Amino acid sequence: MSTLTKDQLALAEATLDFTQDRIAPHAVAWDQDKHFPLDVLREAAGLGLGGVYVREDAGGSGLTRTDGVVIFEVLATGDPSIAGYLSIHNMVGWMIDRYGDDAQRARWLPGLCAMDTLGSYCLTEPGAGSDAAALATRAERVGDTYVLNGVKQFISGAGASQLYVVMARTGAEGPDGISAFVVDRDDPGVSFGPNEKKMGWNAQPTRQVVLDGVRLPADRRLGAEGDGFRIAMNGLNGGRLGIAACSLGGARAALHRSVEYLADREAFGAPLLKSQALQFRLADMATELAAARALVRQAAEALDLGDPQARELCAMAKRFATDTGYRVADEALQLHGGYGYLAEYGIEKIVRDLRVHRILEGTNEIMRLIVARDLIGAAR
Amino acid sequence: MSLRIVVCVKYVPDATGDRHFAEDLTTDRDAVDGLLSELDEYAVEQALQIADAADDAEITVLTVGPEDAKDALRKALSMGADKGVHVEDDDLHGTDVVGTSLVLAKAVEHVGYDLVLCGMASTDGTMGVLPAILAERLGVPQVTLLSEVAVADGTVTGRRDGDAASEQLQAQLPAVVSVTDQSGEARYPSFKGIMAAKKKPVESLDLSDLGIDADEVGLGGAWTKVEDAAKRPERTAGTIVKDEGEGGKQLAEFLVSQKFI
């Protein structure tokens, strides 16, 4: 687990080549221009980034979570915002692959894997964030169809994505009354809010998804009625690893640039890198990232093996890696002095991008709740 | 019948690493990571495109080099080549381009071929003459330095861009072709390709399998001998021209003296 296999090294190398050629040189401009690079995403699909965890028969790469965290860390060294969107797109693909029937898999997965269609994940609502089981979007059964009404909030990729995995209430209050649906952008009654103005993650759109009497045939339901919350939570276990890996990548890039900057920057008659005080700070940044990486890989392996502790480990990894990644990126900004605050240097962008990783895919407070519930349960 | 393409690839020291010579003045391969020569990736890419356009084709990637040279084959296989051939023998240490061409010729004949594809040069030795020597040894046409290449009906056609003109070239197969870095960007290996590569067959051959005597290759068999190797001199600051009214003239004089203009 601690060292990469030859295959994983080759996956990382291919991803790095792509990231350095196609993503990293544009990251600052995409952030500044709020540009969502659909052409680059389609190119990324050529590598297999459209369906990392999707089985090969449906056009996916059929890789493990342990492979995935290596890939997403490398991608995020170029741009955490694009890597983050790709993580979400892959969460959607995994959910359809895992819970869809043969017809649903054949219908949606090839397009998602090729990234001809993009996917978004719709759980959060204006009035239900961390308390996701309290969601209010309704899917009412009318004959052979469902009619969806409600609003989904903070939806990454919204507007640009074709497919939306939407959690909606088909039954009673609480988690057991929720079902999962695949909604198409072109379904009558689907509309979008304006592109939100955000602190970071600007290279991808974030919008409300408004569902106003959206009528869906029953074959749009993913899994059985009442399975929605379980599907959503299982999807998030993997999604949290993806975001954790993206934090590692963003922070790694910031650390790397800090070393280069300090080697280059002279003050008080010598390169700053000669200062032992600064060396120690770099050493701490690298050490904390390595610890976070080890936890992320452990959690990924647990999820691959079906370890009963996987959910808690994913929550720990997400909390620890996103907090650590943010701290390291912020420290990198400090080491860059005033230049770190300039957009041109790309460091402040990484800080802004990584800030949201502590909030989305379940806030880090909810991650602690998941870990604590398990602990308390064990003590009872 | 299937179009048999053999792509000759080289495992070279990473140019971004710190490269050194060993005591016998051969490349010190232990001190630096190696990889598939970037110029050979263009040949692999053209092979894949030619194979895609053909009804039926099989791409073999061939390399001569130490154990680690398998990594170069693996990269080419992950890009989509079908099988690999690795010629490895302790007696090959220090082989020059003439010896290498002998080994490649024997190996290509062993595999069977309609088309041999090469990069325009290696990124370490940068001799650039191997495709021509190889064609000579095989007794087949050579169509070198193409920036565009296509195969149809047993004929290879392509364009060679020179400084003054572009030539359209054509040859009957079998033939040896080399392609330039203008022939089209090499694809990234896909994740699926990477995972599939390890299941693809790689045949290992040594000199005796190819019927080559040890004294025909290696440092002893080399037609060239490296007498000395010196470290690249440290970079010095360039000439600075200060404009005090005559700046333009001085600049022009400098460029003339360096034969730039």
Cβ of A61 within 8 Å of Cβ of B191? The answer is yes
B-interface mutation test, from A52, A61, A86, most B Cβ less than 10 A away: A61
Over range B14-42, report the average pLDDT: 86
Q: Please work out, in degrees rounded to the nearest 5, the angle formed at the alpha carbon of residue A73 by the alpha carbons of A70 and A75.
A: 110
State how far residue A4 is from chain B, nearest Cα, in angstroms.
14
Answer with the residue of higher pLDDT: A131 or A73. Answer: A73
CA distances from A81 to A206, A365, B154 (A): 11, 22, 50
Burial of B138 (0-12, 13-18, 19+ CB in 10 A): buried
Q: What is the dihedral of CA B77, B79, B81, B86, to 10 degrees?
A: -30
What's the pLDDT tens digit per position in A96-123?
999 999 999 999 999 999 999 999 999 9
B99 in contact with A, Cβ within 8 Å: no
d(CA A204, CA A380): 45
Model pTM? 0.90
Q: Can you name the residues that pair with B34 across neighbouring β-strands?
A: B13
Confidence band of B29 (pLDDT split at 50, 70, 90): confident
Q: Which residues of A touch B190 (CB under 8 A)?
A: 14, 46-48, 61
Cβ of A14 within 8 Å of Cβ of B188? The answer is yes
Q: Which residues of B touch A17 (CB under 8 A)?
A: 188
Over range B146-171, report the average pLDDT: 95
Helix, strand, coil in percent for chain B, rounding step 5 = 30, 25, 45
Over range A27-50, report the average pLDDT: 97
Sheet bearing B202-205, strands edge to edge: B142-146, B175-179, B115-119, B3-8, B57-64, B83-87, B202-205
State how far residue A47 is from chain B, nearest Cα, in angstroms.
4
Question: Domain-by-domain residue ranges, chain A?
Answer: 6-118, 120-225, 229-379
What's the pLDDT tens digit per position in A240-297?
999 999 999 999 999 999 999 999 999 999 999 999 999 999 999 999 999 999 999 9
Confidence band of B141 (pLDDT split at 50, 70, 90): very high
ipTM attached to this prediction: 0.91
Q: CATH number for the A120-225 domain, one of 3.90.1170.40, 3.40.50.300, 2.40.110.10, 3.40.50.720?
A: 2.40.110.10
Cβ of A62 within 8 Å of Cβ of B189? The answer is no
Could you tell me the domains of chain B?
A: 3-221 (3.40.50.620)
Q: Can you name the residues that pair with B86 across neighbouring β-strands?
A: B63, B204
- Is A73 annotated in the active site? no
Q: What architecture is the A6-118 domain classified under in CATH?
A: Orthogonal Bundle (1.10)
Nearest to B175 by CA among B123, B121, B135, B131: B135
* Average pLDDT score, chain A: 96
Of the candidates B74, B188, B192, the beta carbon closest to that of A61 is on: B192
Cβ of B195 within 8 Å of Cβ of A14? The answer is no
Of the candidates A17, A47, A67, the beta carbon closest to that of B190 is on: A47
Answer with the residue of higher pLDDT: B24 or A71. Answer: A71
A-interface mutation test, from B191, B192, B202, most A Cβ less than 10 A away: B191
Backbone dihedral angles phi then psi of residue B36, each to the nearest 5 degrees: -65, 125
d(CA A177, CA A134): 10
Confidence band of A1 (pLDDT split at 50, 70, 90): very low
Would the pLDDT of A169 be above 70?
Answer: yes
What's the pLDDT tens digit per position in B89-129?
999 999 999 999 999 999 999 999 999 999 999 988 888 99
Nearest to A65 by CA among A243, A231, A223: A243
- pLDDT at position A2: 57
Q: What is the dihedral of CA A130, A133, A134, A135, to 10 degrees?
A: 90
Prior bond to B174 cis, omega within 30?
A: yes
B189 in contact with A, Cβ within 8 Å: yes
Confidence band of B16 (pLDDT split at 50, 70, 90): confident
Over range B186-208, report the average pLDDT: 96
Q: Are A221 and A169 in contact (CB under 8 A)?
A: no
Cβ of B194 within 8 Å of Cβ of A10? The answer is yes
Neighbours of A372 (CB within 10 A): 12
Nearest to B208 by CA among B103, B99, B137, B135: B103
- pLDDT at position B73: 97
Cβ neighbours of residue A229 under 8 Å, at least 6 residues apart? A132, A133, A167, A175, A176, A178
CATH 3.40.1260.10 fits A229-379, yes or no: no
d(CA B92, CA B220): 10
- pLDDT at position A380: 66
Look up residue A29 and give its amino acid. Answer: A
Neighbours of B231 (CB within 10 A): 7
- Residue whose token pair is 């943010």: A326
d(CA A119, CA A163): 5
Size of interface A-B (CB pairs under 8 A): 43
Q: What is the DSSP letter of B167?
A: E
State how far residue A28 is from chain B, nearest Cα, in angstroms.
24
In percent, the amount of chain B with pLDDT more than 90 equals 73
Q: Which residues of B touch A6 (CB under 8 A)?
A: 198
Say if A6-118 and A120-225 have the same CATH topology: no
E strand or H helix at B13: strand B11-13
- pLDDT at position B230: 84
B195 in contact with A, Cβ within 8 Å: yes
Would the pLDDT of B148 be above 50?
Answer: yes
